Amino acid sequence: MLSHGQISLLFQFSFDWNDGLFDVTWSENNEHVLITSSGDGSLQIWDIAKTKGPLQVYKEHTQEAYSVDWSQTRGEQLVVSGSWDQTAKLWDPAVGKSLRTFKGHEGVIYSTIWSPHIPGCFASASGDQTLRVWDVKAPGVKLVIPAHQAEILSCDWCKYDENLLVTGAVDCSLKGWDLRNIRQPVFILLGHTYAIRRVKFSPFHATLLASCSYDFTVRFWDFSKPNPLLETVEHHTEFTCGLDLSLHNRGQV
């Protein structure tokens, strides 16, 4: 096992940290700034124009900080992190400590992601088998969805529908959820043979999404079609743990 984490940016810069790095998110208002989350529970702010170390380190989580996301709504600059300590934390990068801690999950948090539509709203996915929706201005959790009968490793918001989210879990399934009616999923996608590690909606197509799994594959889906599995890519020879879809090139992943 590696003793430290490393992130490389287009092979131009390399930043080292003394523990594993689990997630990374870019600033929405500064193209040079990014935040990483690490196995020691800390978040690190980096500026690629200043390569001598992190600008700031936030150390509040008591276990691995497994996910981090920067808000996509331009009216605010907020970061949310999720940890194996079962909490999510809200941050303003201009402030030296967290603004709020969100408690309620009964298992490790694997994924935290902001709504691209609703300011101050984010979702979290956990080992407690639930998907939860939070409002940073409201006390407690806004919505609890018992989405799978297995650990949920990933979730994402649809870019075209503020009420639609997708979850990916250890049970090898992807499920779509309409926040207006959570009694049953609006779609279930089956095909992966091991746990689904990451799922992302397309930024260009309302019903298109991509997933990757411990079965070494990346799969593309259109949940509006009778046969939703569009393509299975088997180029990897080990676990596929992450993926994202380009905001600029429709065909690039």
Residue % of the chain over a pLDDT of 70: 94
pLDDT tens by residue, 92-127: 988 989 999 999 999 999 999 999 999 999 999 999
Asked if 106 contacts 78 with a C-beta cutoff of 8 angstroms, the reply is no
pLDDT of the residue at 1: 35
Higher-pLDDT residue of 10 and 28 is 28
pLDDT tops 70 at residue 2 = no
pLDDT tops 50 at residue 60 = yes
pLDDT of the residue at 12: 60
Q: What is the DSSP string of 194-246?
A: S-EEEEEE-SS-TTEEEEEETTS-EEEEETTSSS-EEEEE---SS--------
pLDDT tops 60 at residue 9 = no
Torsion on CA atoms 95, 36, 172, 128, rounded to nearest 10: -40
- CB neighbour class for 27 (10 Å; exposed up to 12, middle 13-18, buried from 19): middle
pLDDT of the residue at 11: 47
The span from the CA of 201 to the CA of 212, in Å, is 12
pLDDT tens by residue, 167-216: 999 999 999 999 999 999 999 999 999 999 999 999 999 999 999 999 99
pLDDT of the residue at 246: 86
Average pLDDT, the chain: 91
Q: Please give the distance of CA 213 from its chain centroid, rounded to a whole number.
A: 14
pTM of the model: 0.91
Dihedral (CA of 15, 19, 23, 29) sign? negative
Token code pair at residue 245: 């879809």
Strand segments, DSSP code E, in 71-108 are 79-83, 87-91, 100-103
Task: Kindly list the domain boundaries of the chain, sorted by start residue.
Answer: 21-146
Domain 21-146 has CATH 2.130.10.10: yes
Q: How far is CA 208 from CA 115, 141, 148, 158, 184, in A?
A: 17, 29, 21, 9, 20
pLDDT tops 70 at residue 83 = yes
Asked if 78 contacts 89 with a C-beta cutoff of 8 angstroms, the reply is no
Higher-pLDDT residue of 28 and 74 is 28
List 157's β-bridge partners, or say none: 165
